[in-house]
A and B are shown apart, each in its own frame.
Chain A
């Protein structure tokens, strides 16, 4: 009708404009596509890949800690646990309520679980309880199918098969703390909730090698972070097993022998330096720390006056008392101040300056030479040496035998002890001048002198092995096989000088009047050479002495003397050395020496380093005869079998 009309022309024109505009619009879209998909494609490809791929860690199995024979001191145990996936559970709290009917879920734990659940994504499992018993786990498995989202599973967790015996040695692991993070170099493992870090002992010192290298899984994830499939997998490297030089059975024997004493024992190979026992009593259960220790257990450990958390073998510093006397004797002899046979008269005390220094024996020992003074542990003899000697001369000898400095043993918290010198005293804040009277205290291992049981063991080993500077090790692979002479430098004493220390210690056991004669090994003649020590915890004042020094048994536990004993043997071919301290145990000869004897006998027989031959030298029949002879009667009565 009006196909050529004005209305149509107008429409055509406007339709052209509209069509053009639409074409332009579509062209804009194409331009944008070019911009996104061609110009900037690489950038977006990268972003898409970042979206898609997530890196997930696989925690490596922690290396075990083994004794020298391969016995496990720390292992990885199946850990039965239960997790709940909130997304699948629906009503999370109701599920927890149902679970609490089967497994113990105290309110504080419940709260912690709810808190954790609130923090994490709803499709990720929340660990509700771990370290379940098998019974609990079995019950759980029977109801789990009825509870959606409940997952009983078994992971790996640290396990210490001998809880108290190796608590200090193996140490323990625990959850990583903010403090740990601040101190340690970054390791992606820290992000894993099940990761445990070595907190104490070998676990701590060797954490790096035990830990291993985490595996890595590249997984494809969706927008919620849920895993869709695995792209690549690298299983990582499990932690290395740590083979220690320890003989587990000997250490267990030692701990049992110590009973509930507060004590420390170090037994080492005098040639290789291998420490075969490093025992600190009382112990505790390191398994308690794995999942966070209970507050009451922790508080009890902290409050215990016997300090169960302390590794007394390397961390405890004690005045060595009379066990230090062989060193003082050697120092005096080397300095040419006195001959081995020269005598000093002991009348029970010695006047020095304004003070009287008393011998432990009130009546005095009479005439003493270098050997008998050690045998009977005469204090006055050593006061006399000290009077003639400078403290630095003693210190020099002490340091050569391993006192006053750390040995770099492969465990944490090793202390240096203290060997006082004039120079050392100058560094103090107050009372910086050395008083000669203080040298007298040092000569009997008191005063400022401090040594760790490990240092005493090293000292004993160096005396025993012919004067070679053996250093202790806890790692079997670090030990140097063969004789000490082949591997360690001499400490630099002449055989004559060393001989007085050795002979003095032999006399202590074999001399007839020795302080530890009763602690000889009955079925192993010339088994031990030793030296007793009794170190005062409290200075005995003149007033106390006047009123009569109370016997140890009558003093409060904390004020009783420490009982010490060092020994090496067998005398004719030294193999092992021991140092023992029984805190507030009383006297070295009465308390420490018998324990040491039993441990050393066990060491000789077990002979982990293959040095003694491992068989008692005296046959049972002959032993019986000797027993009937009455020679060792007391020993038998007091301590039973050795």
Chain B
């Protein structure tokens, strides 16, 4: 009898959570993904199964995961945060070692049934680990510089490992995402000022450590017209595609630059260009607005949450999402050097899609559990234990 009641309660609780899922956010998500499907259909010249169909399958799986993640009690994510980070780190090291043995860099780990990209796990893991770390600190402790050692390691280790892969784009995402989390957590401003100076120096020094192709990209960025058929070619062609789209675009599946292969990697990194070519300024702006709405939701959710872990995690996930959007679009428009960052939920590719949907899942989790109170030690006050699933 008691079991049956508990089960009924649990079911009722679950249903209330389901009803509480952020509906408009999901609609925005679907809209963005829908634009992605359409563009993948277009760039594969109407071959549905080639890109769009496969992307839909990944999206469906990812969307299910997202909902599942959103429904699991927040406390579990608090508990798992260091573990996830740890797994990610171990896998990054494993990739490094395998790369050394196998000769030649690689970014993924083949587990037989699935190929995992540890850096993707790390994007989530780092946000969670930092959120949990700062959840456990008072503001005074945050202001104490000693407490910066741990976060610096949390950010630094994966950054170095990812940069060695070498994957500059992901490294930037991880480092920038982590740093903004410190900022929101209340680390004193002067730390960021000093950090900026050190980073600038590091960038100059690091520039000479870059691989040739990475250095070329920087040069090309500084003067894209100097070598139109070499490394500057991609950016030049991308700008031509964007510009020639004009206000209204060339029409669905009518993009000459993308369909005649002038546009590189049009189904992944340069898919925004394909969109802006075929649907023009109107199309591009629509997508940017959708992203803006999603990011805005992220901040609102963060501010509405009643525990610090959830807030930090929400800001972290949202910021990572923003960084994806900004770096990708700025890159294809020639505002920043070419770095391999996909356009969230639109670019073809399973890993990024899964990572982002898991992130969205965590964000929704925060929304669903916005009223959950979590002690610094991660315990839920007795009075509220009934809400634990």
Q: Is the CB of A15 within 8 A of B303?
A: yes
Q: Is the CB of B242 within 8 A of A37?
A: yes
Q: Cβ of A337 < 8 Å from any Cβ of B?
A: no
Which A residues lie within 8 Å of B329 (CB)? 29
**A44 CA to B237 CA, complexed, in Å:** 10
**CB-CB contacts of B240-279 with A at 8 A, as 1s and 0s?**
1111111100000000110011100000000000001000
Q: Cβ of A48 < 8 Å from any Cβ of B?
A: yes
Q: Cβ of B186 < 8 Å from any Cβ of A?
A: yes
Q: Cβ of A544 < 8 Å from any Cβ of B?
A: no
Give the nearest-CB partner of A23 in chain B: B292
Q: Is the CB of B280 within 8 A of A37?
A: yes
Q: Cβ of B311 < 8 Å from any Cβ of A?
A: yes
| Docked complex: A9-66 residues within 8 A CB-CB of B | 10-12, 14-15, 17-19, 22-23, 25-26, 28-30, 32-34, 36-38, 40-41, 43-45, 47-49, 51-52
Q: Is the CB of A7 within 8 A of B186?
A: yes
Q: Cβ of B54 < 8 Å from any Cβ of A?
A: no
**A223 CA to B262 CA, complexed, in Å:** 5
* Max chain B C-beta neighbours (<10 A), residue from A17, A44, A49: A44
Shortest CB–CB separation between residue B23 and chain A, in angstroms? 22
The residue that A14 contacts in the complex, of B183, B308, B322, with Cβ under 8 A, is B183
The residue that A25 contacts in the complex, of B237, B307, B311, B322, with Cβ under 8 A, is B322
**A2 CA to B309 CA, complexed, in Å:** 12
Q: Is the CB of B260 within 8 A of A36?
A: no
Q: From DSSP, what is the main secondary structure of chain B's interface residues?
A: helix
Which B residues lie within 8 Å of A29 (CB)? 288, 326, 329-330, 333, 335
**A44 CA to B262 CA, complexed, in Å:** 13
Q: Is the CB of B244 within 8 A of A47?
A: yes
Q: Cβ of A94 < 8 Å from any Cβ of B?
A: no
Q: Cβ of A221 < 8 Å from any Cβ of B?
A: yes
**CB-CB contacts of B309-343 with A at 8 A, as 1s and 0s?**
00110010001001001100110010100000000
Given A12-B303, A223-B262, A1-B375 contact (CB < 8 Å): yes
Shortest CB–CB separation between residue B45 and chain A, in angstroms? 11
**A47 CA to B263 CA, complexed, in Å:** 13
The residue that A48 contacts in the complex, of B241, B247, B291, B306, with Cβ under 8 A, is B241
Q: Cβ of A375 < 8 Å from any Cβ of B?
A: no
Q: Is the CB of B242 within 8 A of A36?
A: yes
Q: Is the CB of B330 within 8 A of A52?
A: no
Q: Cβ of B138 < 8 Å from any Cβ of A?
A: yes
**CB-CB contacts of A210-253 with B at 8 A, as 1s and 0s?**
00000000001111100010000000000000000000000000
Give the nearest-CB partner of A44 in chain B: B243
Which A residues lie within 8 Å of B295 (CB)? 19, 22, 26
Q: Cβ of A6 < 8 Å from any Cβ of B?
A: yes
Shortest CB–CB separation between residue B18 and chain A, in angstroms? 26
**A14 CA to B181 CA, complexed, in Å:** 10
Q: Is the CB of A37 within 8 A of B302?
A: no
Which B residues lie within 8 Å of A223 (CB)? 237, 260-262
Q: Cβ of A3 < 8 Å from any Cβ of B?
A: yes
Q: Is the CB of A222 within 8 A of B261?
A: yes
**A17 CA to B299 CA, complexed, in Å:** 11
Give the nearest-CB partner of B236 in chain A: A47
**A73 CA to B217 CA, complexed, in Å:** 63
Contact residue range for chain A? 35 or more
Which A residues lie within 8 Å of B325 (CB)? 26
Q: Cβ of B285 < 8 Å from any Cβ of A?
A: yes
Q: Is the CB of A32 within 8 A of B262?
A: no
The residue that A37 contacts in the complex, of B246, B292, B307, B311, with Cβ under 8 A, is B246
Q: Cβ of A424 < 8 Å from any Cβ of B?
A: no
Q: Cβ of A8 < 8 Å from any Cβ of B?
A: yes
**A17 CA to B185 CA, complexed, in Å:** 12
Given A25-B322, A40-B243, A1-B280 contact (CB < 8 Å): no
Q: Is the CB of B330 within 8 A of A32?
A: yes
The residue that B315 contacts in the complex, of A18, A32, A36, A220, with Cβ under 8 A, is A18
The residue that B139 contacts in the complex, of A10, A26, A49, A222, with Cβ under 8 A, is A10
Q: Cβ of B239 < 8 Å from any Cβ of A?
A: yes
Which A residues lie within 8 Å of B375 (CB)? 1
**A229 CA to B319 CA, complexed, in Å:** 45
The residue that A52 contacts in the complex, of B260, B292, B303, with Cβ under 8 A, is B260
Which B residues lie within 8 Å of A41 (CB)? 243-247
Q: Is the CB of B307 within 8 A of A1?
A: yes
Q: Cβ of B214 < 8 Å from any Cβ of A?
A: no
**A12 CA to B315 CA, complexed, in Å:** 10
Given A10-B139, A22-B319, A41-B244, A220-B284 contact (CB < 8 Å): no
Q: Is the CB of B306 within 8 A of A1?
A: yes
**A32 CA to B238 CA, complexed, in Å:** 13
Given A1-B306, A33-B276, A34-B281, A25-B245 contact (CB < 8 Å): no
Q: Cβ of B373 < 8 Å from any Cβ of A?
A: yes
**A51 CA to B250 CA, complexed, in Å:** 15
**CB-CB contacts of B163-194 with A at 8 A, as 1s and 0s?**
00000000000000000100111100000000
Q: Is the CB of A26 within 8 A of B262?
A: no
Given A38-B246, A223-B260, A44-B292 contact (CB < 8 Å): no
Given A7-B139, A29-B329, A48-B256, A19-B299 contact (CB < 8 Å): yes
Which A residues lie within 8 Å of B240 (CB)? 44, 47-48, 51
Q: Is the CB of A7 within 8 A of B308?
A: yes
Which A residues lie within 8 Å of B292 (CB)? 23, 26
**A67 CA to B107 CA, complexed, in Å:** 77
* Max chain B C-beta neighbours (<10 A), residue from A19, A30, A37, A47: A37
Shortest CB–CB separation between residue B339 and chain A, in angstroms? 15
Give the nearest-CB partner of A51 in chain B: B262
Give the nearest-CB partner of B140 in chain A: A6
**A12 CA to B262 CA, complexed, in Å:** 45
B interface vs A, CB < 8 Å? 138-139, 142, 180, 183-186, 237, 239-247, 256-257, 260-262, 276, 280-281, 284-285, 288, 291-292, 295-296, 299, 302-303, 306-308, 311-312, 315, 319, 322, 325-326, 329-330, 333, 335, 373-375
Besides A29-B330, A51-B237, 7 other A-B contacts (C-beta < 8 A)? A1-B374, A7-B142, A18-B180, A28-B335, A34-B281, A37-B242, A47-B243
5 A-B pairs, CB-CB below 8 angstroms? A1-B375, A29-B326, A33-B242, A41-B243, A223-B262
A interface vs B, CB < 8 Å? 1-3, 6-8, 10-12, 14-15, 17-19, 22-23, 25-26, 28-30, 32-34, 36-38, 40-41, 43-45, 47-49, 51-52, 220-224, 228
